[in-house]
Chain A
Amino acid sequence: MIPTLIGIVTITFILVKMRPDPVSMNAFSAEGMKESSASEKYMEDMRKYFGDDKPLYVQYFKTFKNLLTLDLGTSRIDHKPVTEKIAEALPITLALNIITIFIVYLISVPLGVFSALNDSSNWDNFVTFILYLLYSLPSFWVALLLIKYLSGGDYLNLFPLAGLSSVGYDEFSLWQKWQDLMWHLFLPIVVSVYGSFAFLSRFIKSSFMEALKSDYIRTAKAKGMTKRRVVYIHAMRNSLIPLITLMAGILPELFAGSVIIESIFSIPGMGKLAFDSIHSNDHAVIIAVVSFSSFLTLLGILMSDIGYTLVDPRISFEKEEAA
């Protein structure tokens, strides 16, 4: 896990440093010209301030030092500490993604099991058709359609156009705050959820059908177990195993997805922060956002590995250590 993280930070660092010098770019766009001596002096100061004047290897090691001490420097745009920016953005993205994963699993698992038990029936075909229809709709397009028709008042005004909170949020009671938040998050969650149903429920279907065809299911039937017990005890536990790895696989996808969704809905989360910082060439923020996202993804993978040992007795970390 740690070597992977070092690798990710290194690659991000190289990519970031390959871009044009941010100070000159930002100054150029700000002042409209590059040649004047005043701006030359200003740029020198800025480079010194952000440490861009030091050799690359010094900057490289400083990046690691910053990450380890969680002192991530300041943003080039608004001069706020990066740690603070991330602390504001991270909970929003985490909440969005955790709710998304929860809803996706809550709906896909029963759908997948249903389809497996009623394979090739009309209902199964219907469900499959709807899911693939949803799967093929690009999320940015759906997001824009939803905004156009359901919010803003051109057609309906059911949901807010953008952002996370209404005016006067600070004076709301806790319950009102919660309601307001959910109201704002509704469309973003719909957009990030609908495309994942097809993938996950098809996966569960095939994994469940494979489990149902296996020898131990025949054994369970031969023992006189009831149909329910055969399906929900004997087949379920075995088909749960791949679901857990899948969770780890979905995480990075969700992080990538939040870049689009958060940008469209103007939600101040990690995705929007990443998008904006790349646009404005905000080195410290880019590196911090990428490192944190990948750290969380790796943490997710680690957690799914631990989850594995809970459901599958054949895998055990203790064993590996002993061997």
Chain B
Amino acid sequence: MKLAVSAKKTSAKTKNLLSIENLKTGFHTPEGDVTALRGVSLHVNEGEILALVGESGSGKTITGLSALKLLEHPAYIESGFVNFNGENILEYDEQQIINFRGCKVSMIFQEPMTALNPVFTIGFQISEVLQTHLGMDKKESMKKAVELLKDVGISEPAIRVKNYPFQLSGGMRQRAMIAMALAASPKLLVADEPTTALDVTIQAQILALLKNLSRKEKMAILLITHDLGIVAQIADRVAVMYGGDIMETGPVKDVLEKRKHPYTRGLFESLPSAVVVKGKQLKKLKPIPGQVPSLKEMPEGCPFRGRCDKEKKECAEEIKLKTSGKNHKYKCIY
């Protein structure tokens, strides 16, 4: 209850930081173009944590990459807007996008091992961000890199700054990635499955770190994950994605409790921890039948058709966005 009140207070003051509108993207393939995102709309407010949830192949990562205009051949953007502070970054030229990336918006990735360049020291990789975006010189930026490493909870930062990625553990590497992403104090951090490659205890630490940094620096986070447990832990709002479209979106509490969309329900029922947390008797896991269809075979209308147990004729038509409560929206005929 207390949480809900404080959330309301901040939402009154906050404004849209990132807003993606009707974004359609696709891939060029040898067999012709396929659609990946089918008109995604979402927004991230200043300082909030939005969790983007969905199965593999639902288009989460593509959505995240497009927030930095990082989609590259064979991916392409068909239509839509990606607005940051009111400016459409898709129209940015080369120089503008360089000033934008790493400075206004940063991104961290799933595999901290491969995401760091193996042949440069951690310090080098952090300091080049500082040199590029804040115009620091070499000495200054190295000093700042040590501070940044300290801020993300790396012990002996003065030594670690001279280490190569292979000399650090998985958790430390992800911390170093975070330090690098935060070097130029961005307003938004896109975190693409930041804890998936880490073991559970480290996961919790990294999540706590992200949440703290978000509060401290007033930095918004677009957290891409498939783990509903993480969503419940740190997110303010959640967007459930399936088949290249947002199925349900709203404050975490509303979405997790009401579960308007059958896909959201399916996600919950296939989650072992959620069954236990509810305090009821252990139920048998109920996986969602079938598989995410390939991009080519995505059905018209609701993409969840064919796997949904409540399918009707109307599902084949375009589904309108429905509202339940203040900010809770979902795309389903029910």
Query: Which of A's residues lie within 8 Å of B, judged by CB?
Result: 214-216, 218-227, 229, 234, 237-238, 241, 311-314
The reply to whether the CB of B229 lies closer than 8 angstroms to some CB of chain A is no
Q: Which residues of B contact A216 (CB under 8 A)?
A: 114-118
* Given A214-B114, A216-B116, A234-B117: A222 and B103 interface contact (C-beta under 8 Å): no
Specify which of B101, B118, B120, B166 is in contact with A223 (CB 8 Å cutoff).
Answer: B101
Cβ B111 vs Cβ A225 within 8 A = no
Q: Which residues of B contact A222 (CB under 8 A)?
A: 68, 70, 101-102, 106-107, 181
The SS class assigned to the A binding surface is helix
Q: Which residues of A contact B117 (CB under 8 A)?
A: 216, 219-220, 234, 237-238
Cβ B115 vs Cβ A237 within 8 A = no
Specify which of A218, A224, A312 is in contact with B109 (CB 8 Å cutoff).
Answer: A218
Cβ B103 vs Cβ A224 within 8 A = yes
Assembly CA distance A241 to B109 (angstroms): 25
Specify which of B68, B103, B114, B180 is in contact with A215 (CB 8 Å cutoff).
Answer: B114
Nearest CB of chain A from residue B220's CB, rounded to whole Å: 16
23 A–B pairs (Cβ distance < 8 Å), ordered by A: A215-B109, A215-B114, A215-B115, A218-B115, A219-B107, A219-B117, A219-B180, A220-B117, A222-B106, A222-B107, A222-B181, A223-B106, A223-B129, A224-B97, A224-B101, A224-B132, A227-B94, A238-B118, A312-B119, A313-B118, A313-B121, A313-B164, A314-B166
Q: Which residues of B contact A238 (CB under 8 A)?
A: 117-119
Specify which of A218, A224, A227, A237 is in contact with B120 (CB 8 Å cutoff).
Answer: A237
Q: A219-B117, A314-B118, A314-B164 are in contact. List 10 more A-B contacts (CB 8 A).
A: A215-B109, A219-B107, A219-B180, A221-B101, A223-B129, A223-B181, A225-B132, A237-B117, A241-B119, A312-B118
Q: Which residues of B contact A218 (CB under 8 A)?
A: 70, 109, 115
For residue A211, which residue of chain B has the nearest CB? B117
Q: Which residues of A contact B118 (CB under 8 A)?
A: 216, 238, 312-314
For residue A236, which residue of chain B has the nearest CB? B119
Cβ A224 vs Cβ B129 within 8 A = yes
Q: Which residues of A contact B98 (CB under 8 A)?
A: 224-226
Interface residues of B in 60-112 (CB under 8 A from A): 68, 70, 94, 97-103, 106-107, 109, 111
Interface string of B125-142 (1 = CB under 8 A from A): 000110011000000000
Assembly CA distance A222 to B184 (angstroms): 12
For residue A221, which residue of chain B has the nearest CB? B70
Interface residues of B in 154-169 (CB under 8 A from A): 164, 166
Cβ B180 vs Cβ A223 within 8 A = yes
Cβ B164 vs Cβ A224 within 8 A = no
Query: Which of B's residues lie within 8 Å of A, judged by CB?
Result: 68, 70, 94, 97-103, 106-107, 109, 111, 114-121, 128-129, 132-133, 164, 166, 177, 180-181, 184
Nearest CB of chain A from residue B254's CB, rounded to whole Å: 32
For residue A219, which residue of chain B has the nearest CB? B115
* Given A214-B114, A219-B109, A313-B164: A225 and B128 interface contact (C-beta under 8 Å): yes
Q: Which residues of A contact B121 (CB under 8 A)?
A: 313
Cβ B102 vs Cβ A224 within 8 A = yes
Q: Which residues of A contact B70 (CB under 8 A)?
A: 218, 221-222
Assembly CA distance A229 to B115 (angstroms): 16
For residue A311, which residue of chain B has the nearest CB? B119
Q: Which residues of B contact A234 (CB under 8 A)?
A: 117, 120
Nearest CB of chain A from residue B112's CB, rounded to whole Å: 9
Q: Which residues of A contact B100 (CB under 8 A)?
A: 224
Assembly CA distance A312 to B101 (angstroms): 28
Q: Which residues of A contact B180 (CB under 8 A)?
A: 219, 223
Assembly CA distance A226 to B100 (angstroms): 11
Assembly CA distance A223 to B115 (angstroms): 12
Q: Which residues of A contact B68 (CB under 8 A)?
A: 222
For residue A226, which residue of chain B has the nearest CB? B98
Q: Which residues of B contact A311 (CB under 8 A)?
A: 119
For residue B132, which residue of chain A has the nearest CB? A224
Assembly CA distance A219 to B126 (angstroms): 11
Assembly CA distance A29 to B102 (angstroms): 81
Assembly CA distance A219 to B116 (angstroms): 7
Q: Which residues of A contact B166 (CB under 8 A)?
A: 313-314
Interface centre among A218, A220, A222, A313 (most CB of B within 10 A): A222
Q: Which residues of A contact B177 (CB under 8 A)?
A: 219
For residue A214, which residue of chain B has the nearest CB? B114
Assembly CA distance A206 to B250 (angstroms): 46
Assembly CA distance A225 to B98 (angstroms): 6
Assembly CA distance A225 to B166 (angstroms): 22
Assembly CA distance A154 to B115 (angstroms): 62
For residue B104, which residue of chain A has the nearest CB? A224
Nearest CB of chain B from residue A62's CB, rounded to whole Å: 49
Cβ A224 vs Cβ B133 within 8 A = yes
A-B pairs, 3 with minimum CB distance: A224-B102, A224-B101, A223-B102
Assembly CA distance A225 to B70 (angstroms): 12
Nearest CB of chain B from residue A313's CB, rounded to whole Å: 4
For residue B190, which residue of chain A has the nearest CB? A222
